Amino acid sequence: MADVTKKPESPGKSGWSTGTKVLVGIVVLIVVIATLAVVTLTIAVLGTNVGTEFPYTTNYRVTLPDGEPITIGSSHILVTSYNNELIADVDGTKEKLVVGQQRVTSPRHAQVTVIGMPVIDTDFQITLTYLGSTGSTANFDMSVKTSTQVPELVIRRLIPPAMNALPA
């Protein structure tokens, strides 16, 4: 008769093959790098460049809280509305707006870095078109024009959450 004894498995050996372990290691490494990239994504808004063209545009519908300052990039915006008129103070320059009127910010330069390394350099300009007021907020169509194509994720980081930006 044949000896039918099972050989015991060596202790400490897992059921994963070397290829599976390598694949899991690569996936974990990619997740760690992606998390670091998102966490360390920073946008530095620097001085302006004159004469830049802005061929790329991303549009949003935004609200600005009445009487509360908002910062987009390095532009400071404060709006005060009354009936269908609005006083917009952008970087210290006040202008009265009526429904349908636009306010264009000065061009700015932005540098996007990930893990401390620059990945995008672009110039941008923001145009706000006043749509009217609802309660304690002023409604605008906002166009963000850039000199180079910028991922929407990066533009969303530039827009403060208080603006309730929705793609238009």
56 exposure class (CB count in 10 Å sphere: 0-12, 13-18, 19+):
middle
Using CA atoms of 135, 60, 75, 117 in order, give the dihedral in degrees to the nearest 10: 140
pLDDT of residue 55: 94
Average pLDDT over residues 36-41: 74
Domain ranges of the chain: 47-108+122-167
Residue 6 pLDDT class (50, 70, 90 cuts): low
pTM: 0.70
* Tokens matching residue 71: 């910062």
pLDDT (tens digit per residue) in 11-38: 555 588 888 999 999 999 999 888 877 7
Q: How far apart are CA 109 and CA 49, in angstroms?
A: 7
Average pLDDT over residues 146-151: 90
Q: How far apart are CA 46 and CA 51, in angstroms?
A: 16
| CB distance 154 to 106 below 8 Å | no
pLDDT of residue 62: 95
Instruction: Pick the closest to residue 56 from 166, 143, 141 (CA basis).
Output: 143
Report the mean per-residue pLDDT for the chain: 84
